[in-house]
Structure 1
Amino acid sequence: MAKRSFRVDINYDWCKSCGICYHMCPTKTIKEGELKRPVVEDHSTCIGCLICENLCPDFAINIVDITEKVGEKNG
Structure 2
Amino acid sequence: MFEITIDYDKCAADGECIDSCPAQVFDEGEDGKPVIARPEDCLGCETCVEVCPEGAITVTEM
Partner of 1:41: 37
Aligned residues: 62
**Structure number with larger C-alpha Rg:** 1
> What percentage of aligned pairs have identical amino acids?
35
The residue correspondences of 1:25-36 to structure 2 (distance < 5 A) are 25-36=21-32
User: Deviation per CA, 1:17-73, whole angstroms, max 9, x where unpaired?
Assistant: 01000000111101211121100022111000110001100000000111xxxxxxx
Partner of 1:12: 8
Q: Structure 1: which 4+ aligned runs deviate by more than 3 Å?
A: none
Q: CA RMSD for the aligned pairs?
A: 0.8
Cα distance between partner residues in 2 of 1:31 and 1:54 = 18
| TM-score where L is the length of structure 2 | 0.93
Q: Which blocks of at least 5 consecutive residues in structure 2 are unaligned?
A: none
